[in-house]
């Protein structure tokens, strides 16, 4: 199996365009088409559907893609480990990340990251939906949740500390809760999927199903609603650190910490070898966020 043919196929899976995929691997459209034909002939299956405007992967192509990526990643890692080939990671790194965290904390570090690796490009997808890394063709995903998928390798990038907070305007009007039970008499802004708030008390844990007239599936919207005085909410410090610093939000119930085992994780498929471009990305942002993230220090 020819490595150049695999590279062409992997880029084709991302670009859906033979001419563009060929350009990315340094060959003409005609040569790219020949590469693809030879790969399909060698495997004995059709990997892509061709139309006059674009190509898409067949069912066999979808099944073959993660294996082709694994082969290329292993070869790249092996070459670099013995000083063969490019000294620095190259190619395209496809990253999925939560929209809010991506905009606030990944984008400011991208310029520095790319300056260190001139032969590397990045393709970001910012979405609050949990993506399937293999099906979506992603090299790495950033997640701020409890990890349950055992097929993924995870590295913690930073803590995801969550606090209860409100605006001074809201507290002036409605008073400040003195205990978790007081929340039952307050308007609570709910992030979808987080309608039960669990606190660590001296006598044990206390879970409360809070109520409120406003909820959203977007963390930025929840934060802004809290700043606007619509109620009390749970917000991650990485999301609210600027508002906490300038006084637009204040922490309440600080003596009753929330029960949470979430963190900011970098996850990638469980291959035997981690691709150099994935390692480079994780190392770069881990050095920026750990062990003490700047959003905690600035409060």
Per-residue pLDDT of the chain (299 residues; tens, 9 = 90+): 788 899 889 888 877 888 888 887 888 989 999 999 999 999 999 999 887 667 888 999 889 988 888 888 777 767 666 655 555 777 888 899 988 899 999 999 999 999 988 888 899 988 877 777 766 778 888 988 766 655 678 888 888 899 999 999 999 999 999 999 999 999 999 998 888 999 988 888 899 999 999 999 888 999 999 999 999 999 999 999 999 999 999 999 999 999 887 888 898 876 545 677 888 899 899 888 877 788 876 55
- The answer to whether the beta carbons of residues 262 and 162 sit under 8 Å apart is yes
Q: What is the pLDDT of residue 288?
A: 85
Instruction: Enumerate the β-bridge partners of residue 265.
Output: 143, 156
Q: What is the pLDDT of residue 151?
A: 64
What is the pTM (predicted TM-score) of this model? 0.68
C-alpha distances in Å from residue 208, one per residue of 40, 63, 190: 57, 45, 12
Domains, the chain, in order of start with CATH, read 1-84 (1.10.10.10), 86-160+262-299 (3.40.190.10), 162-252 (3.40.190.290)
């Amino acid at each position: 199996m020819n490595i150049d043919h695999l590279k062409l196929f992997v880029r084709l899976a991302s670009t859906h365009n033979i001419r563009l995929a060929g350009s990315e691997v340094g060959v003409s459209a005609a040569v790219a088409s020949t590469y693809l034909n030879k790969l399909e002939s060698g495997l004995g299956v059709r990997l892509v559907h061709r139309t006059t405007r674009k190509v898409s992967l067949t069912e066999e192509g979808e099944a073959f893609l993660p294996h082709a990526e694994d082969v290329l990643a292993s070869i790249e890692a092996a070459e670099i480990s013995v000083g063969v080939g490019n000294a620095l990671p190259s190619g395209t790194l496809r990253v999925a990340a939560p929209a809010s965290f991506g905009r606030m904390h990944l984008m400011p570090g991208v310029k520095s990251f790319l300056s260190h690796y001139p032969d590397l490009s990045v393709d970001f997808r910012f979405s609050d939906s949990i993506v399937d890394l293999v099906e979506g063709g992603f090299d790495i995903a950033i997640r701020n949740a409890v990890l349950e998928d055992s097929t993924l390798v995870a590295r913690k990038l930073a803590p995801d500390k969550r606090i209860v907070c409100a605006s001074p305007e809201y507290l002036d009007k409605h008073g400040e809760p003195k205990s978790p039970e007081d929340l039952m008499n307050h308007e609570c802004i709910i992030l979808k999927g987080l309608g039960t708030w669990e606190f660590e008390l001296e006598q044990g844990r206390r879970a409360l199903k809070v109520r409120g007239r406003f909820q959203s599936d977007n963390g930025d919207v929840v934060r802004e609603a809290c700043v606007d005085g619509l109620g009390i909410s749970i917000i991650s410090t990485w999301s609210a650190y600027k508002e906490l610093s300038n006084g637009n939000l204040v922490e309440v119930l600080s003596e009753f910490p929330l029960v949470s085992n979430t963190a900011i994780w970098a996850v990638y498929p469980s291959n035997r070898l981690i691709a150099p471009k994935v390692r480079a990305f994780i190392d770069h942002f881990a050095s920026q966020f750990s062990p003490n993230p700047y959003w905690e220090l600035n409060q």
